[in-house]
Amino acid sequence: MPADLREIGAADLDFVGVARRLRFVPAGSLVEVTCRTVQGRLLLRPSPLLRELTLGVLARAARLYPVEVHAFAFLSNHFHLLVTVSDAQRLARFMNYLNSNLAREAGRLVRWREKFWGRRYQAILVSDEPEAQIARLRYLLAHGVKEGLVASPVEWPGAHSARALLDGEVVTGRWVDRTLEQAALRRRRAVAPETFVTVETLRLAPLPCWTALSDSARRRRLSELVEEIEREGRSQTRRTGQAPCGREFVLRQDPRHEPNRVDKGPAPLAHAASRAARDALREAYAIFVGAYRRAAELLRSGALDAPFPEGAFPPPMPHAFAVG
């Protein structure tokens, strides 16, 4: 097994023509998804309307392309999701719908007509270890607090799952049918804006490691996580002498602002609590890459029925042009 599986896919998959890791999502995997705006601009700066629209798009995407959504946090220049999906292709369809519609709605609000997302979303597997799953949930919930913006996750003015998780509430949002809206505008019909609005709902699923717990037990554990995050926020304030910026500061941010520095780093293949679990996922990925390479070689040799691994994205077929 290669020492560093991040090298696989760049050096060994020349036929594919991309220097990025293959999308590897075993059936029923828990995945942390991250996506960032172009240049880290604050194009997702919260507002009451954007919050409603974001929740509507997220809920509709989860309904049309079924995934289990466990938690989410939409910051001003990026967002995180914790989801369980059937395979990489289902995740891709879900994310395509979410990102394309969210970019249109958020871009409309801030009058941004250029490219919206910096690059394709990153999906990182989370092992089935309870410690790993809870750690990723805690990391996601801490957004807004760890940056020194608010004192508690429930104070974030944008779309954030903390409140819904603590209270066991169903998430609701607004979906606007822009196709019908534009058709009415072309016909110059005076129609109330609410005519094109549908309320979408999303019930957050418990972490896989918490499915056996009662609702009250899950909420108690979530409350403990939030209290830990709030304590760390207060410790950070005492250490730095800087109080959280607060909701009003977040709402006043310039959405076109480009930060001087955006934290970026290589994404791990998986989040795991133990070396054994991490090595198991790496070995599974190595097997997946090996099967993909064999199928790609067969396809290159002319075998159109080359058996790619389940859930994989085969490379695009070469185009044939008639001559004469």
Share of the chain above pLDDT 90, in %: 73
pLDDT at residue 323, as a whole number: 55
Residue 125: predicted pLDDT: 96
Q: Which residue has the higher pLDDT, 181 or 63?
A: 63
Residue written as token pair 């699923």: 205
pLDDT digits (tens, 9 = 90+) for 70-128: 999 999 999 999 999 999 999 999 999 999 999 999 999 999 999 999 999 999 999 99
CA distances from 67 to 3, 32, 279 (A): 33, 13, 26
Enter the tokens of residue 7: 């090298």
Strands 270-271 and 171-176: unpaired
Which has the minimum average pLDDT: 17-21, 238-242, 255-259, 315-319?
17-21
**Other CB atoms within 10 A of residue 238 CB:** 8
Does residue 2 register a pLDDT over 60? Answer: no
Predicted local confidence at residue 20, as pLDDT: 72
Q: What pLDDT, on a 0 to 100 scale, did the predictor assign at position 187?
A: 79
DSSP 57-97: HHHHHHHHTT-EEEEEEE-SSEEEEEEEES-HHHHHHHHHH
* Whole-number Å distance between alpha carbons of 263 and 294: 37
Over residues 92-101, the pLDDT tens digits come to 999 999 999 9
| Helices and strands per DSSP (H, E), number in the chain | 8, 7
Percentage above 70 pLDDT, the chain: 90
pLDDT at 272 over 60: yes
The span from the CA of 237 to the CA of 244, in Å, is 7
pLDDT, tens digit (0-9, with 9 covering 90-100), for 138-176? 999 999 999 999 999 999 999 999 999 999 999 999 998
Residue with the two structure tokens 């507002």: 47
Residue boundaries of the structural domains of the chain: 22-268
CATH no., domain 22-268:
3.30.70.1290
Q: What is the CA radius of gyration of the chain?
A: 22
**E strand or H helix that includes residue 44:** none
Residue whose structure tokens are 């403990």 = 224
DSSP string, 235-288: HHHHHH------HHHHHHS-TT---S-----PPPSEE-SSHHHHHHHHHHHHHH
- The answer to whether 74 and 171 are in contact (CB under 8 A) is no
Confirm if 90 and 104 have CB atoms less than 8 A apart: no
CA dihedral for 55, 58, 62, 64, sign (positive or negative): positive
Give the pLDDT of residue 134: 98
Mean pLDDT, residues 23-47: 95
CB 108, CB 115: distance < 8 Å: no
| pTM, to two decimals | 0.88
d(CA 51, CA 141): 17
| Axis crossing angle, helix 130-141 with helix 215-240, rounded to the nearest 10 | 60
